[in-house]
A and B are shown apart, each in its own frame.
Chain A
């Protein structure tokens, strides 16, 4: 009960943000939401199930192009288009599963990399529909009389709803029988199998969910920016997603959220330091790896462990305990 109240308050406060933030900051938050959703999806696959993927931008691309094409050619509204495109992406995840069932570690990473490359190389080939290398613009849409596409406030509420719902779903999956099966497969697949966990079934589920999340993120992205091109979904994006979950802390849900926020805002803050951006960015990556080997969330967990909290001065201790009581983990 206490936890429900805590999260309701958090979401309500977030919902008030458009009152204080100007459009550009909202736009950044919307982009962060896209990354959060995609990162949660990747964390389900890589962090919880232990299946490496460095081709996840391919699923983002399917979601984004799927949404845009469904709006353009089928005239579907976004609240149908985004879920349908997400499901398409989930299906693509299923197809990728066929080689993935037999592969582990670096071999699986290459298979997923191949998938990501294939999507980016294939999209411009189909130029009459996708607009080729130039990309395509996403049709403007309205909902209850409000223009949604490229409207930062409207997009913010859509993004907020999607993030809250998808985080809640992910949390329930992780804490269920399915989530425990994922972790078992990650930690020792042979032992998991011996305990009756069907590898094929649960790996299939992990790939489907992960691709579904990435596809939904892609659909949201298409409407946030209003213009998409194949180059945005290259290897760099896939690597970025991987960095997000590794920096945030892979096998957790707050981890990818923190990582996504970090990777949205760090380049933004660094844009003031011309010429030094990559040095600071690179050093930040190395610094986090050295000082927070299990990610930002791992670091937070370590320093808010009950024995550490005891020795904190009162106001800090009370704050930590309040958040913890609210289900911070």
Chain B
């Protein structure tokens, strides 16, 4: 029972972690909390579903298309909209991302996402039994993807020019600019990568919760909570925060009596507040980042 709850919790937590990685990437370089991340992930995932069901594309190609949609969406959002609001304070830009989310919801509705739609599993074979723990193949895929995305982020940030430029931009925008980094382009890269990551998370979540206009928003809220738990500016923190959150949430709903079990979100959030009171910048966050004043 305990092992099973932990394993399922880790699977859910990996999903929060992937979603959180995209959010943090955007936040680090642009200081915008993208509250449209859920809607943007929903939109990319819905494109994959449309291509797969209505246009008969192979599933893997459709998933690839979702990734590309996410990336393109990032470019459009940054170049097409946010670039025009350069002088606005970040709190206003946060509102703009909400507006983009609303528009995407409307487009998805117009394209036919009216009710909850099932989304195909990539791996739908027999579950594995390890001891008394049941492991769905989809869970394995989620672990694999979470690992791969984390590794990819690590490699990009450690070894590629774009990644190093992103780190420089997040540390000090002006200094980065003086070193010849095109800060605007780095922002666009972050949006593209961030929303691409969101699309991956969306395609992995959709088979579990089904796809509707709202389903990704709840995942996004959990991802934001996970990111905060990890320390909002730390990429490894996002994954750690996601895993911790997923496991705790699962253990709570597994062991608590049914009368209290629906309060799991409250419980998790309360726990996060307690962690923040002890460590105001999260588990792995840097002291200076995130706050102002």
Contact = CB atoms under 8 A, between A and B. Distances in A.
A224 interface: no
A132 to B, nearest CB: 12
Contacts of A50: 293
Nearest to B228: A110
Nearest to B92: A289
A122 interface: yes
Interface in A257-308: 275-279, 281-286, 288-290, 293-295
11 contacts: A103-B276, A104-B280, A104-B291, A111-B273, A114-B225, A278-B105, A278-B106, A282-B101, A284-B99, A293-B85, A294-B88
A102 B280 contact: yes
A278 B293 contact: no
Q: Which 7 A-B pairs have the closest CB atoms?
A: A114-B269, A285-B99, A282-B102, A293-B88, A104-B291, A278-B106, A282-B103
A76 to B, nearest CB: 29
Nearest to A276: B106
Interface in B234-293: 259-260, 262-263, 265-266, 269-270, 272-274, 276-277, 280-282, 290-293
A188 B98 CA distance: 28
Given A289-B85, A289-B93, A107 B276 contact: yes
B280 A107 contact: yes
A6 B33 CA distance: 42
A117 B265 contact: yes
B91 A246 contact: yes
Interface string B113-150: 00000000000000000000000000000000000000
Contacts of B293: 50, 104, 185-190
Given A111-B273, A295-B92, A282 B106 contact: yes
Interface residues on A, range: 35 or more
Interface string A162-204: 0000000000000000000000011111100000000000000
A107 B103 contact: no
Given A104-B290, A276-B106, A277-B106, 6 more contacts: A105-B292, A125-B260, A190-B293, A285-B96, A286-B99, A289-B96
A160 interface: no
Given A118-B269, A285-B96, A102 B102 contact: no
Interface in B1-44: 27, 33, 35
Contacts of B224: 110, 113
Nearest to A47: B91
A122 B262 CA distance: 9
Contacts of B91: 246, 250
B99 A117 contact: no
Contacts of B292: 104-105
Interface in B61-108: 81, 84-85, 87-89, 91-96, 98-103, 105-107
A278 B103 CA distance: 6
B272 A103 contact: no
A185 B107 CA distance: 42
A327 interface: no
Contacts of B225: 110, 113-114
Contacts of A98: 277
Contacts of A232: none
Nearest to B83: A290
A225 B277 CA distance: 38
A247 interface: yes
A99 B273 contact: yes
B108 to A, nearest CB: 10
B273 A114 contact: yes
B92 A286 contact: no
Contacts of B92: 246, 289, 293-295
B228 A106 contact: yes
Contacts of A235: 221
B55 interface: no
B43 to A, nearest CB: 13
Contacts of A231: none
Nearest to A119: B266
A290 B282 contact: no
A282 B100 contact: yes
A286 B106 contact: no
Contacts of A188: 293
A290 B85 contact: yes
B110 interface: yes
A319 B224 CA distance: 48
A239 to B, nearest CB: 7
B191 interface: no
